[in-house]
Amino acid sequence: MKKGIYRRLAISGIKKNKQIYFPYLLSGTVMVMVFYILAFLAASDMVHNLRGGEALTSLLICGEALIGVFSFPFLFYTSSSLMRKRKKEFGLYNILGMNKGNILVSLIWETLITYGIVIFTGIFFGVLFSKIAELGLVNIMEEEINYHIYIEWKAIVTALVLYAGIYFFIFLNIMRQIHQNNPIELLHSEAAGERPPKSRWVLAAAGLALIAGAYVWAVQIENPREALMQLMVIAGVVIIGTYLLFIAGSVFLCGWLKKRKHYYYQTAHFVTVSSLSYRMKRNGASLASICILATVILVALVGTAGFYTGVDDIIERHYPYDLGIIIETGKAEWEESGRTYQAEIEVVLKDTNAKVSEAIEVHEVGIDAPIENGVLDLSVDVYQNAPEEGNVQEWNKYLENYVCVRILSLEDYNRLCNTSEELKDDEVFLAGGKQSAKVRSIRNWDGSEYAVKKTVKQMPELSAFELYGSYSDLMMDYMVLVVPDLNRLWGSFDASAWSAKNQVLCFWEYGVKLAEERDRQLAIGDACEERVRELAEEEEVLTSTYYTKAEKWARMKSLAGGVLFLALAISMVFVFVATLIMYYKQISEGYEDQRQFSIMRKIGMTRKEIRRSINSQMLTVFFLPLVVAGIHLTFALPGIYQVLKASVLDNRLLLYRVAAVSFILFAAAYALVYLITTRTYIKIVNREPIQ
C-alpha cells in the first residue's frame, strides 16, 4: 500500500469518530493528570514537612497506586465502548479488501497516536494543576504556602511506563476481538441482541435478600474497632446484590410492566419498556455500575468530610488545655513525680513569657471492673479468669460486663466542673457512662462498700479521661467514679495480690490554658516538650504523655485534610467514570435506536411524543441508580459513624448533616450529567440513520 496510508487512515478514523473518541481521549488524559498530581504531592517536600506530613505522604502514595490500578479496568471499559461502535467500520474495511494484517497496522498507529495525545495532554495539565493542587492541599490544612514551581520528573517517567503498558494491553484486547470475528459478524455487531437471563425472579429475589441482609448487618454494627472491616465485607455483599437486582430485576420489571396493559400501551411507556427489554442485561450491568460508583463516591465524601469538619470537635474534646502532661506512675511516686514535672514546665512558661490564663493539677486512678447485681466491683482482677491472649472474640465476650472506670476526688471534680457537690464518707456518685444507672453500690479493693448517691451527666475536662477512656470505650462503657477522699480509697489497694498483667492506672495530670496565638502556643509547647523529654529520661515513671493542643490540631488537620483531598481526587475520577458510562451508554443506544425512532416518525409519531418517550426512558434508567445509591448511603451511615468513632469523632448529628449536604451536591451534579447526555441521545435519534 501507499507509504503513510496507515497513519492517515488512523488519523481519519479518529477524526470521523470524534464524538466517541473525544471522551476516550479525555478519560485517559484525566487518569494521567490525576496520577501525576498525586505522585507530585507524594514527593513534595512542602507536604512532607507539614506537621503530620509523614502520614499524609503515605496516604498520597496509596492514592497514587489506587489511581494507577484503577486506570487499567477503566480504560479497558472505555476502549470496549469505543470498539463496539467501530467494529462495523473494521468489518467494512475487511470486505473492501483490507486483510486483518492491514487493520492491525492501522490499529497500531491509532494506539500510538492515542497514547501520545493522552500522555502529553495528561502530563501537561498535571504539571499545570499540580502546584494548584499543592497550594489547595496546604490551604486546607491552614499552613504557610510556598509558591516555588517545579516538575517532578520521576512521576513523569512512572506515568510514561505505566500507561504505555495499559495501552499495550488494550491494543492486544482489540486485536483479539477482531481476530475472533469474521467480517459479517463485525458488520452486524451493533445489531446483536441479548437473551434475557434465566430464572429472573430467583436472581432478583437473591439480590434483594443480599441487600436486605447487608442493611440489617450495617445498622447493627456497634464495635468501632471492627466497623471498617465489617463495612468492607458488607460493601462486597451490597455490590453483588446490586448487580443481581439491576440485571435480573430489570428483566423482571420489564416483564411485569408489559403485562400491565393500561401502562404499557401508552406512547411514552411502550417505547421505553420495549427499549429496556431489548438490552435489559446490558442496561442492568451499566446501571448497577453507576449505582455502585455513586455509592462509593457518597460514602467516601461523607466519611472524609465528616472527619475533616469534626477535627475541631475532636481536638476540643480530647485536649481541653492548650498544653498538658499526663504521667502514669506507681502509687509511691505519685506526688513526687508530678511536682517535679510541674516545676519544670512552670520554669519554661516563665522563660518564654507565656500568658497563662488557667492551670490545673489533678490526680486520677483508672481500672476496669465488672458490674454484677448492681455492684461495681473494684476488687476483681480482670486477668484472673481471662481467656488466652489474641482471642479477640472470647475477650469481647469476657468483657461484656466490664466497664472502664476513672476515679476522681470530689474536690477535683467540683473544681473542674465548677460544681458544689457534697458526699458523706460512705457515699460516691457516678458521672457519664451508659451503664452507670445500673450501679447501686461500689465494692472497694478491701471489700468495703460505698453507696451510690446519684448519677450525673457532666464529665470533667481531663485529657487522661478522654485519651485513655475513649480507647477503652471502643470495647467497654466508660464512667467516672467520684469519691470523697481519693487517698483513703486508694490506700486500701495492694498490687501484690493481683496478677502481674493487671493494670491499675495512676495518673497525674497538669494542664495549662494560654492566652496566646497558635504560632506562639506551638513555640511554647515545643520548648516544654523538649524539657519534658529530658526529664522523662531521668525520672522513673511508667509512661509520660505530653501534648500541645495547637500541635495536635495541626497534625489532625493535616491528616484530615489529606484524607479529604485524596477522597475528592478519587471521587472526581469516579464521577468522571460514571459520567463516561452514562455518555457511552447514551451514544451506543442512540445509534441503536436511530432506525427505530425513524420508523416511528414515518408512521406518525411526533417529535414531541418522541421527546416525551425519551424523557420517560431516561428518568427511569438514570435516576434509579441515584435513588438506590441514596438508600445504600442511608444504611451505611451507622457503620460510617462507628468508623469515625474509632477515629475519636463521636458526633452523629454532624455526620448526618454532612451526609445530607453531600447527597444534595452529588444529586445536582448527577442531574447536570443526565441533562447533557440526554441532549446527546436526542440529537442522535433525531437524525436519519445511514442506510
Q: Which helix (H) or strand (E) holds 274?
A: helix 267-278
**Is the pLDDT higher at 464 or at 291?**
291
Question: Which grid cell sits at 297?
Answer: 463516591
At residue 515, the 3 state secondary structure works out as coil
Q: What is the mean pLDDT of the segment spanning 515-531?
A: 86
CA distance 350 to 359: 13
Nearest alpha carbon to residue 227 among 634, 649, 639, 638:
639
Mean pLDDT is highest, among 82-96, 486-500, 507-521, for: 507-521
Q: Residue 472 pLDDT more than 50?
A: no
Mean pLDDT is highest, among 20-24, 196-200, 391-395, 480-484, for: 480-484
| 198 Cβ neighbours under 8 A, 6+ residues apart | none
pTM for the complete prediction? 0.68
Query: What percent of the chain stands above pLDDT 90?
Result: 2
Q: What is the mean pLDDT of the segment spanning 427-448?
A: 85
C-alpha 164, offset from chain centre: 30
Q: Residue 423 pLDDT more than 50?
A: yes
First to last CA, the chain: 29
pLDDT band at residue 340, thresholds of 50, 70 and 90? Answer: confident
Question: Which grid cell sits at 691?
Answer: 442506510
Q: Residue 457 pLDDT more than 80?
A: yes
CA distance 559 to 50: 10
Q: What is the mean pLDDT of the segment spanning 429-437?
A: 83
Contact 290, 242 (CB under 8 A): no
**Is the pLDDT higher at 193 or at 640?**
640
Quick count: other Cβ atoms within 10 Å of Cβ 161?
Answer: 9
Question: Which grid cell sits at 332?
Answer: 509511691
Nearest alpha carbon to residue 636 among 393, 294, 245:
294
Mean pLDDT is highest, among 183-192, 364-373, 601-610, for: 364-373
Residue position matching grid coordinates 507539614: 50
**pLDDT for 687:** 67
Q: Residue 471 pLDDT more than 50?
A: no
Q: Residue 104 pLDDT more than 50?
A: yes
Write the DSSP symbol of residue 542: S
Please write the tens of the pLDDT for every residue from 601-610. 766 666 676 6
Contact 510, 343 (CB under 8 A): no
**Is the pLDDT higher at 261 or at 230?**
230
**pLDDT for 225:** 67
Write the DSSP symbol of residue 191: G
Q: What is the mean pLDDT of the segment spanning 371-376?
A: 88
Q: Residue 376 pLDDT more than 60?
A: yes
Strand pairing class (441-443; 375-377): parallel
Question: DSSP string spanning 633-650?
Answer: HHHHHHHHHHHHHHTT--
Nearest alpha carbon to residue 129 among 144, 111, 108, 151:
151
At residue 4, the 3 state secondary structure works out as coil
Q: What is the mean pLDDT of the segment spanning 469-475?
A: 47
Tell me the Ramachandran region of residue 97: left when phi exceeds 0, alpha when psi lies from -120 to 50, beta otherwise: left
Dmax over Cα atoms in the chain, in whole Å?
106
pLDDT band at residue 120, thresholds of 50, 70 and 90? Answer: very high
Nearest alpha carbon to residue 623 among 585, 553, 589, 674:
674
Nearest alpha carbon to residue 274 among 600, 680, 683:
600
| 370 Cβ neighbours under 8 A, 6+ residues apart | 376, 377, 380, 401, 402, 403
Question: DSSP string spanning 198-247?
Answer: SSHHHHHHHHHHHHHHHHHHHHT---HHHHHHHHHHHHHHHHHHHHHHHH
**pLDDT for 551:** 82
pLDDT band at residue 146, thresholds of 50, 70 and 90? Answer: low
At residue 480, the 3 state secondary structure works out as strand
The residues with which 362 forms a beta bridge, in sequence order, are 509
Write the DSSP symbol of residue 438: G
**pLDDT for 445:** 80
**pLDDT for 495:** 60
User: What is the residue-averaged pLDDT of the chain?
Assistant: 76
CA distance 311 to 107: 52
Mean pLDDT is highest, among 74-83, 431-440, 460-469, for: 431-440
Contact 540, 287 (CB under 8 A): no
Three-state SS letters, 332-353: CCHHHHHHHHHHHHHHHHHHCC
**Is the pLDDT higher at 83 or at 666?**
666
Q: What is the mean pLDDT of the segment spanning 184-202?
A: 52
Q: Which helix (H) or strand (E) holds 126?
A: helix 100-140
Q: What are phi and psi of 451, to 5 degrees?
A: -80, 140
**pLDDT for 72:** 79
Question: Which grid cell sits at 507?
Answer: 495518673
Output the CA–CA distances (angstroms, integers) from residue 493 to 82, 376, 381, 529, 661, in the order listed. 76, 16, 12, 33, 53
Q: What is the mean pLDDT of the segment spanning 289-299?
A: 84
| 152 Cβ neighbours under 8 A, 6+ residues apart | 36, 39, 40, 43, 44, 130
Q: Which helix (H) or strand (E) holds 540?
A: none
Indicate the domain borders of the chain: 1-192, 201-316+548-691, 358-505
CA distance 651 to 24: 43
| 88 Cβ neighbours under 8 A, 6+ residues apart | 186, 187, 188, 189, 190
Output the CA–CA distances (angstroms, integers) from residue 182 to 10, 243, 661, in the order listed. 21, 32, 52
What's the one-letter identity of residue 285? A
**pLDDT for 193:** 47
Contact 620, 276 (CB under 8 A): yes
Contact 560, 52 (CB under 8 A): no
Contact 225, 470 (CB under 8 A): no
**pLDDT for 469:** 44
**Is the pLDDT higher at 232 or at 6?**
232
The residues with which 365 forms a beta bridge, in sequence order, are 407, 506
Q: What is the mean pLDDT of the segment spanning 15-43?
A: 81
Return the exposure string of 108-138: e unless at least 16 CB atoms fall within 10 Å of the residue's CB, then b: ebbbebbbeebbebbbebbbebbbebbeebb
Helix pair 100-140, 53-95: axis angle to 10 deg:
160
Q: Residue 465 pLDDT more than 50?
A: no
Contact 274, 244 (CB under 8 A): no
Q: Residue 206 pLDDT more than 80?
A: yes
Q: What is the mean pLDDT of the segment spanning 285-307?
A: 82
Instruction: Kindly tell me the sign of the dihedral angle through the C-alpha atoms of 184, 185, 189, 195.
Output: positive
pLDDT band at residue 618, thresholds of 50, 70 and 90? Answer: low
Question: Which grid cell sits at 420?
Answer: 458544689
Q: What is the mean pLDDT of the segment spanning 177-189?
A: 56
Contact 211, 245 (CB under 8 A): yes
Question: Which grid cell sits at 623?
Answer: 435516576
**pLDDT for 458:** 83
